[in-house]
């Protein structure tokens, strides 16, 4: 028996090595050996252990975690073979690999808008899609993986809608990005080679490749993908729920619509690793469904949950006399990110569709009957579109096609605010869903209810993250922060300090969640520590992303009032002359006596200096000195100057400087009075960006110089804003005009 275990382990070790060497072309052995009739799902005890991922690390593959699909030798019973393999000392589990299949097939082709023919409006309007499109039509930053029978990438309604691998996009048999799938330009195929699909579909290998063209006669995967993300408003065909999106087709069903659950698990992991935010699985296990609950699938779904990916799965269909329990993977209730979808009969008041499975796991219901979607372009249809269902044959649709409506909804929710987590999107969808009518069986068939896409998108909040400041200096941790729209407080949080810096994350409710709150065009004012902050944020309109990161928001001390008070230290102080222009000493009548001298820096005055590169010199007025000594007889309004005077507070009437005052700045140091509105340094000096190297301010009370260096971490600068009627020094690399607004 140990020899048999050793042989099995060697076989799988060889398989693992081949999978790891993903740069090679498919092995010829698959072409020569007879295709297996069945597979078992095996988990080996490997040296790999789950570790917290760093942001730049890709999630582990199932193979790295020890999960493999092992072919059953010819003539062996899968259950017996699995039981034998499970006894091996390095095997944690071994079970027959559960078969899965697509849930429905389409009917004849119909072209959207052709006279009195079928139309999408009969079901999309009923679930609020037009209202959703008023807010967002989708984003190509959102990737939706479609695990199905593949997709016809040649269909015109998928132009510009497909995910594309930027590295491994050739047809050369080399896995250039080492992701375990060869030449996966648009997606990947995960199909176990069997005797049946070898004969009927022409497959020759189980090796994952980019061969994702839909080869099901029913176009199952192409239909599903079209419902999610066929291009909208492009003048042809149909509109997907998300008019703009990136579809990632992953082929896990063969040409007969059949596959294995381990390959569904592989497909989930692949989707997560490629950055999918939503995974659509319009695939259901065969009864009895419990056989599909395999460790590899649970590991894949846990990986999706850990990465914030929403997995939307069909509850499955049943015929009269068949079990109606929810199929896997939709049946899992321990994963909050797995959304099970039942079908509503949109031809009968959104009642329960009699083919739809039901049970505790179902989260939502969506229309499943007579939907329109895209088909393969190579099956002889004059227009590659079809209505799903056969009204004369007793077949109306399937949960396979209700599911992508829900996936499309989540694509729109993520597009509306890309920075929320999966729980936020699911909560918005649940809160917006409309109650479903009871079914004759009396059990749960719709979960939270019938989806309302427009209502869900309207409930998506704004999420603001950034740096909270007071006068452009980080506030202490715990400082309260509010979001106000008019008189309504629409969100609140506190600053979080980490050393010398602070951050905040603020969720701002919309009007659908709290009347009077966010709506397109509304001004969102932040209040930090009880003071209004700048800038205000505008609630985005159509196709705006309500997730805004990297904000620097600062409350600002009130501007000077009618009287402006300047503090003088003992000795020299740097002041602003706010009185009218006049001759000295009379024009300086507000200064405390006895002041002795006034010096004003003139960057244009020549002076001998031993310091290389020093430009300019001081002009002076010495009180009581002969006129020949003084070269600064007249002081102008808004001159910045030094005065030698006793410590005091100097009060002046506010001159209320007009906007647009211009200061000529020379190369070298300049001393000026800032007369614009209080702003961050970068904003106040945006007109001369890259022309200055340092800004200084002299604190008269303490006698200390304060410095601001552009580009330096903010916590190393002594100040971050320029304030109205205060005095600053600036070093210019070249002459420029500063316009102060």
Which residues participate in catalysis according to the annotation? 148, 220, 400
What is the DSSP-derived secondary structure letter of residue 124? H
> Would you say 297 and 190 are in contact if contact means Cβ atoms under 8 Å apart?
no
* Phi/psi at 547 (5° precision): -95, 110
> In angstroms, rounded to a whole number, what is the distance separating the alpha carbons of residues 146 and 312?
10
Q: Nearest-5° angle of CA 456, CA 458, CA 459? A: 65
> Would you say 600 and 618 are in contact if contact means Cβ atoms under 8 Å apart?
yes
- Adjacent-strand bridge partners of 330: none
Instruction: Kindly compute the dihedral angle of the four CA atoms of residues 131, 132, 137, 139, in this order, to the nearest 10 degrees.
Output: 170
> In angstroms, rounded to a whole number, what is the distance separating the alpha carbons of residues 405 and 341?
10
Cis peptide before 340 (omega within 30 of 0): no
Q: Tell me which H or E stretch contains 416.
A: helix 399-416
> In angstroms, rounded to a whole number, what is the distance separating the alpha carbons of residues 431 and 721?
43
Query: Please, where are the H alpha helices in 230-335?
Result: 261-273, 295-306
> In angstroms, rounded to a whole number, what is the distance separating the alpha carbons of residues 389 and 104?
8
Tokens at residue 531, please? 């003071």
> In angstroms, rounded to a whole number, what is the distance separating the alpha carbons of residues 335 and 301?
7
* Phi/psi at 230 (5° precision): -60, 140
**Contacts of 38 by beta carbon, 8 Å cutoff, 6+ apart:** 71, 72, 78, 96, 97, 194
* Phi/psi at 292 (5° precision): -85, -5
**Contacts of 39 by beta carbon, 8 Å cutoff, 6+ apart:** 69, 70, 71, 72, 78, 96, 97, 192, 260, 262
* Phi/psi at 95 (5° precision): -140, 155
**Contacts of 69 by beta carbon, 8 Å cutoff, 6+ apart:** 39, 40, 41, 42, 97, 192, 206, 260, 262, 263, 296
> In angstroms, rounded to a whole number, what is the distance separating the alpha carbons of residues 697 and 703?
10
Q: Report CA-CA distances (Å) from 495 to 447, 470, 641, 723.
A: 38, 12, 39, 24
Tokens at residue 293, please? 């609950």
> In angstroms, rounded to a whole number, what is the distance separating the alpha carbons of residues 476 and 230?
49
Tokens at residue 120, please? 């999408």
- Residue 717 burial (C-beta neighbours within 10 Å; 0-12, 13-18, 19+): middle
Find tokens 């990161």 and name the residue: 549
Query: How many residues in the chain?
Result: 741
**Contacts of 4 by beta carbon, 8 Å cutoff, 6+ apart:** 84
Tokens at residue 603, please? 């960057």
> Would you say 370 and 327 are in contact if contact means Cβ atoms under 8 Å apart?
no
> Would you say 406 and 366 are in contact if contact means Cβ atoms under 8 Å apart?
yes
The Cβ of residue 52 has, within 10 Å, a number of other Cβ atoms equal to: 6
Q: Report CA-CA distances (Å) from 4 to 12, 38, 39, 97, 594.
A: 13, 19, 18, 21, 106
To the nearest 5 percent, what fractions of the chain are helix, strand and coil? 20, 30, 50
> Would you say 559 and 659 are in contact if contact means Cβ atoms under 8 Å apart?
no
The string of DSSP codes covering 73-141 is PTT--HHHHHHHHHTSTTEEEEEEPPEEEE-----S---TT-TTS--SHHHHGGGTHHHHHHH--EEEE
Q: Which of 259, 69, 67, 44 is nearest to 150 (CA)?
A: 259
């Amino acid at each position: 028996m140990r020899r048999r275990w050793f042989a099995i382990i060697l076989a799988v070790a060889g398989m693992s090595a081949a999978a790891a060497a993903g740069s090679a072309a498919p092995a010829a052995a698959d072409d020569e050996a007879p295709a297996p009739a069945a597979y078992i799902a095996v988990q080996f005890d490997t040296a790999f252990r789950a570790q917290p991922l760093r942001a730049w690390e890709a999630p582990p593959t199932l193979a790295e975690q020890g999960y493999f699909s092992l072919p059953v030798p010819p003539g062996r019973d899968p259950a017996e073979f699995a039981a034998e393999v499970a006894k091996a000392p390095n095997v944690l589990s071994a079970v027959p690999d559960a078969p899965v299949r697509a849930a429905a097939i389409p009917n004849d082709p119909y072209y959207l808008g052709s006279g009195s023919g079928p139309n999408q409006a009969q079901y999309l309007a009923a679930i609020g899609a037009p209202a959703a499109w008023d807010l967002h039509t989708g984003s190509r930053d959102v990737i939706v993986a479609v695990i199905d029978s593949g997709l016809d990438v040649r269909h015109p309604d998928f132009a510009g809608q497909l995910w594309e691998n930027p590295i491994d996009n050739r047809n050369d048999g080399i896995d250039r990005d080492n992701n375990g799938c060869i030449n996966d330009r648009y997606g990947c195929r995960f199909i176990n080679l069997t005797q049946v699909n070898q004969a009927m579909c022409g497959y020759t290998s189980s090796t994952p490749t980019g061969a994702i063209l839909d080869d099901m006669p029913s176009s199952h995967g192409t239909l599903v993908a079209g419902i999610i993300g066929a291009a909208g408003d492009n003048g042809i065909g149909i509109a997907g729920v998300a008019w703009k999106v990136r579809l990632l087709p992953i082929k896990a069903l063969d040409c007969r619509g059949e596959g294995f659950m381990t390959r569904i698990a592989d497909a989930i992991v692949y989707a997560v690793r490629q950055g999918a935010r939503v995974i659509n699985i319009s695939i259901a296990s065969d009864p009895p469904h419990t056989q599909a609950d395999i460790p590899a699938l649970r590991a894949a779904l846990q990986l999706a949950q850990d990465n914030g990916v929403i997995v939307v799965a069909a509850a499955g269909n049943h015929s009269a006399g068949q079990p109606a329990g929810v199929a896997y993977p939709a049946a899992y209730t321990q994963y909050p990110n797995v959304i099970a979808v039942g079908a509503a009969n949109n031809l009968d008041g959104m009642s329960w569709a009699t083919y739809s499975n039901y049970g505790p796991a179902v989260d939502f219901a969506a229309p499943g009957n007579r939907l329109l979607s895209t088909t393969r372009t190579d099956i002889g249809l004059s227009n590659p579109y079809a209505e799903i269902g056969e009204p004369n044959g007793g077949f109306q649709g399937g949960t396979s096609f209700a599911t992508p409506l829900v996936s499309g909804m989540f694509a729109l929710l993520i597009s509306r605010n890309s920075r929320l987590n999966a729980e936020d999107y699911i909560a918005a969808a649940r809160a917006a869903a409309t109650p479903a009518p009871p079914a004759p069986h009396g059990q749960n068939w719709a979960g939270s209810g019938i989806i309302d896409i427009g209502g869900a998108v309207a409930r998506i909040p704004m999420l603001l993250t950034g740096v909270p400041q007071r006068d452009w200096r980080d506030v202490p941790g715990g400082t309260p922060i509010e979001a106000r729209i008019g008189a309504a407080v629409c969100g609140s949080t506190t600053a979080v300090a980490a050393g010398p810096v602070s951050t905040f994350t603020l969720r701002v409710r919309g009007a659908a969640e709290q009347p009077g709150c966010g709506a397109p065009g509304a001004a969102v004012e932040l209040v930090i520590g009880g003071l209004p902050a700048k800038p205000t944020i505008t609630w985005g309109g159509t196709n705006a992303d309500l997730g805004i990161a990297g904000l620097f928001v600062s409350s600002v001390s009130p501007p000077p009032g009618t009287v402006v008070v300047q503090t003088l230290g003992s000795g020299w102080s740097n002041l602003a002359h706010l009185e009218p222009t006049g001759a000295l000493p009379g024009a300086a009548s507000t200064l405390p006596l006895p002041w002795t001298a006034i010096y004003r820096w003139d960057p244009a005055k020549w002076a001998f200096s031993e310091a290389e590169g020093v430009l300019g010199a001081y002009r002076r007025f010495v009180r009581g000195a002969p006129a020949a000594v003084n070269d600064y007889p007249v002081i102008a309004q808004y001159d910045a100057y030094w005065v030698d005077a006793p410590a005091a507070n100097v009060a002046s009437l506010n001159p209320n400087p007009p906007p647009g005052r211009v200061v000529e700045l020379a190369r070298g140091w300049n001393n000026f009075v800032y007369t614009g509105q209080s702003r961050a340094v970068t904003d106040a000096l945006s007109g001369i960006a890259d022309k200055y190297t340092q800004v200084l301010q002299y604190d008269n009370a303490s006698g200390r110089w304060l410095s601001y260096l552009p580009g330096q971490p903010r916590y190393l600068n002594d100040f971050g804003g320029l304030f109205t009627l205060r005095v600053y020094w600036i070093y210019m690399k070249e002459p420029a005009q500063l316009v102060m607004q």
